[in-house]
A = this chain, B = another copy of it.
Amino acid sequence: MENTTERTELSSLGEFGLIDRLKKFAHLKNTDSLLGIGDDAAVIDCGDHVRLVSTDMMVEGIHFDLSYMPLKHLGYKAVATNVSDIAAMNGKPTQLTVSIAVSSKFSLEAIEELYRGIQAACEVYNVDLVGGDTTSSRSGLMISITIIGTANKQDVVYRSTAKDKDIICVTGDLGGAYMGLQLLEREKQVFLANPNAQPQLEDKDYVVQRQLKPEARMDFIHELKNLEIRPTSMIDISDGLASELMHLCKASGLGARIYEDKLPIDSQTEQIANEFNISTNTCMLNGGEDYELLFTISQDDYAKLRNHPDVTTIGYMHSADKGIHMVSIGQQLVPLTAQGWNHFE
């Protein structure tokens, strides 16, 4: 396809490796481009405020499986995951565009069902659908959403501004969406083996919901404002805690220490992880798609969040040379590694 003699497989790079290689093609020259690639959203100067821009692409068979993901849920989730990127900048979503590529297996009624989910999420998050593109595809469904948000310039929270000794916090609980996925995959295999089998999903509604209908934590962004807390850094947890914490550390030029016994997990997630013989650490550290917020606060703000029912303080930032570790329940110092996701494998 190309004339060069070299051929580097994308699978050998992974998604983050590829993005690192593509960064060199992006040079910011316009003075209103305050921030480009490297955070949850780009930041554009609009005078008295900034606009935040983020984009996500979801591909059938890679990011979702329509055999257990209803189209309406898919539409909702596609919007929520984009809103989450705006939340992670401490901004408010305002507009989005939705482009879809669809194969002939989809009818108008199916696409309308997808858009009903998109519309439902737009209402919940107060975002306006202002444009998009529609085209056919050779195989399956592809959704590309670009979201635009707004924030006061001084309110924007970056990944790169955590400080030494800051406290690391996380909203909600972790690993649920991952266990929901395992469960749905198992039921799919059971169904494929025996189409008369009934899905075994009783009492598993929480993790299933975490996978099929995740919410962006805009509620918490509004709460931070009420509490008069501006995190020193923030990122949304789409790829698992370990990967996101490493992004924060790398961007801020720091290391971190978190504590295994502090990590928040829901009892249902824990129970199903045990049932599947999957370590709860794997769920929380490397399971993706929780869309909770990982953020750091200065110690001065600790008192304001200490007793918050939906926030867990899990550790602290320190200098880069001390590394990025988890203190295990057995008091072992375990270096964190990002599994993240390699869709190219």
Interface positions of A (Cβ within 8 A of B): 1-2, 4, 6-11, 13, 15, 18-19, 21-22, 25-30, 32-33, 35-37, 41-42, 44, 46-49, 51, 53-63, 66, 71, 94-95, 97, 99-102, 104-113, 115-116, 118-119, 122, 126-140, 142, 144, 146, 148, 150, 343-344
Contacts and interface: CB of A to CB of B under 8 A. Distances in A.
Nearest to A61: B138
A101 B134 contact: no
A51 B53 CA distance: 12
Contacts of A144: 55, 57, 99, 133, 144
A131 to B, nearest CB: 5
A37 B107 contact: no
A32 B113 CA distance: 27
Given A8-B109, A25-B119, A55 B146 contact: yes
A36 B129 contact: yes
Nearest to A8: B108
Of the candidates A49, A119, A132, the one having the most CB atoms from chain B within 10 angstroms of its own CB is A132
A110 B2 contact: yes
Given A7-B107, A8-B107, A115-B25, A55 B19 contact: no
Contacts of A55: 97, 99, 131-133, 144, 146
Contacts of A1: 66, 71, 105-107, 110
22 contacts: A2-B109, A9-B108, A10-B106, A22-B111, A22-B112, A26-B129, A28-B130, A29-B126, A30-B95, A32-B94, A32-B150, A33-B128, A47-B48, A51-B51, A53-B95, A57-B101, A57-B135, A58-B135, A59-B136, A61-B138, A139-B139, A144-B144
A7 to B, nearest CB: 4
